[in-house]
Amino acid sequence: MLAPLASMLAGPVIIVAVVSRLTPEGQGYFYTFNSLLAFQILFDMGSAQVLLQFASHEWSRLGLDPDGRITGSEEALAKLRSLLAFAVRWASGIAVVAGIVLGLAGTAMFSHSANSGMRWLGPWVALCTVTAFNMLLTPIWALLEGCNRITQVYAYRFFANVAQNTCICCALFAGAGLWAIPLGAAATLSVSVAMLVRQHGRFLAQIRRAGHQAGISWRHHLLPVQWRFALSWWSGYFLTYFFTPILFRYYGPVVAGQMGMTWSVVSTIGALSTAWISTRAARFGMLIARREYKELDRMAVRSGMACVGVAALGAVGLESLVLAMHAIGFPLVNRILSPLPTGLFLAGQVLMQLAGVQSVYLRAHRREPLAALSATAALLVVGTTCYLGKAYGAVGAAASYCGVTLLFILPVGTAILIRCRRLWHECPQ
Domain boundaries, the chain: 1-216, 218-429
**Mean pLDDT computed over 115-132:** 87
CA distances from 194 to 69, 143, 163, 182 (A): 21, 17, 12, 18
| 400-422 residues labelled b (16+ CB within 10 A) or e (exposed) | bbbbbbeeebbebbeebbeebbe
pLDDT band at residue 76 under the 50/70/90 scheme = confident
C-alpha distances in Å from residue 52, one per residue of 81, 97, 143, 148, 338: 14, 23, 5, 9, 39
Of the given ranges (40-54, 91-105, 403-417), which has the lowest mean pLDDT? 40-54
Calculate mean pLDDT across residues 56-81. 85
* 350-372 residues labelled b (16+ CB within 10 A) or e (exposed): bbbbbbbbbbbbbbbbbbbbbbe
Q: Which of 83-92, 278-287, 385-394 is the most confident on average? A: 385-394
Q: Work out whether the CA dihedral 120, 121, 126, 131 comes out positive or negative.
A: positive
Asked if pLDDT for residue 6 goes beyond 80, the answer is no
Report the pLDDT value the prediction gives residue 351, as an integer from 0 to 100. Answer: 95
Identify which of 276, 266, 274 has the alpha carbon closest to the alpha carbon of residue 318.
Answer: 266
Quote the distance between the C-alpha of residue 244 and its chain's center. 16
pLDDT at 43 over 80: no
Neighbours of 154 (CB within 10 A): 18
Please provide residue 65's backbone torsions phi and psi, each rounded to the nearest 5 degrees.
-85, 175
- Nearest to 314, CA basis, from 374, 266, 254: 266
Phi, psi (rounded to 5 degrees) for 156: -60, -45
Inter-residue contact 409 to 274 (CB < 8 Å) = no
Q: Which of 15-29, 76-90, 164-178, 409-423 has the lowest mean pLDDT?
A: 76-90
State the average pLDDT for the chain: 87
CB atoms within 10 A of CB 291: 10
Instruction: Please report which confidence band the pLDDT of residue 164 belongs to, taking 50, 70 and 90 as the band edges.
Output: very high
211 has pLDDT over 70: no
pLDDT band, very low/low/confident/very high, at 318 (cuts 50, 70, 90) = very high
75 pLDDT tier (thresholds 50, 70, 90): confident
pLDDT at 234 over 80: no
Burial class (CB in 10 A: 0-12, 13-18, 19+), 258: buried
Closest CA to 169 of 334, 2, 11: 11
Q: How far is CA 133 from CA 97, 127, 166, 300, 320, in A?
A: 12, 10, 20, 35, 40
The reported pLDDT for the residue numbered 3 is: 57
Calpha distance 54→67 (Å, rounded): 25
Going by C-alpha positions, the residue among 235, 212, 188 that lies closest to residue 45 is: 235
Look at residue 65 in the predicted model and tell me its pLDDT. Answer: 85
Contacts of residue 205, defined as CB under 8 A and 6 or more positions apart, other chains included, come to none
pLDDT in tens, 366-424: 787 888 898 899 999 999 999 999 999 999 999 999 999 999 999 999 999 999 999 88
What's the chain's length in residues? 429
CA angle 345, 348, 349 (to 5 degrees): 85
What is the pLDDT at residue 352?
93
How many whole angstroms separate alpha carbon 341 and alpha carbon 209? 54
Dump pLDDT digits (tens) for 214-227.
667 666 667 677 77
**Residue of 335, 287, 239 lying closest to 28 (CA atoms):** 335
175 confidence band (pLDDT: 50, 70, 90):
very high
Most confident by average pLDDT, 93-97, 329-333, 343-347, 370-374: 343-347
Q: What is the pLDDT of residue 311?
A: 94
Q: What is the model's pLDDT at position 172?
A: 95
Percent of the chain's residues with pLDDT above 90? 45
Predicted confidence at residue 149, as pLDDT, reads 85
Parallel/antiparallel/unpaired status of strands 62-64 and 70-72: antiparallel
Give the C-alpha separation, 377 to 410, whole Å.
Answer: 10
pLDDT above 70 coverage of the chain, percent: 93
